Amino acid sequence: QPDHGDTLQFRLHQILVIKGAIMARNFSGEWVLERQENFERLAKQHGVDLDEKRMIIEQGDDKVKITWGNGVRTFEFNVPGETIMKAGPMEAKWIARWEGKKLVVTVERSGPAGEGVEPGIITREIVDGKLNVTHEFGGHTATRVFNRA
């Protein structure tokens, strides 16, 4: 005899998975920097070239790929998932997840003796057709706003 409690729990799980998929936002496309606030310090600490004003985001089922400028820097990661990211001598563990329509990446120190970037959070969300990227590291918040190219 079937256990209706298990069937109900399975269907509830299906609904939550579908709801999560609907809520996730598609960030795919080419984006051009419109403005940034308080970003210079973080750029210097994390080895980011302030001249990088264009990025391409490719988003598939559970994978996101971000390419900066003319392909100088590329980051690929799964959502949800954990990935070790390297940019020059810097190394960090990215833990990516969806929070509603926001793509949230928690950055943890990685590398020998905890060297690498300081811990923080990078949040990406689309507001009024613009991609807002918020960086929160070491008590410092920086924002970058991009338009579709």
% of the chain residues with pLDDT over 90:
45
Give the whole-angstrom CA distance, residue 108 versus residue 80. Answer: 15
pLDDT tier, 35 (very low <50, low <70, confident <90, very high otherwise): very high
Across the range 126-143, mean pLDDT stands at: 92
pLDDT tens-digit readout, 47-81? 676 667 899 999 998 899 999 877 778 889 999 99
Q: Is the pTM of this model over 0.75?
A: yes
Which amino acid is located at 122 in the chain? Answer: I
Which residue, 127, 146, 48, 148, is CA-closest to 90?
48
CA 139 to the chain's CA centroid: 19
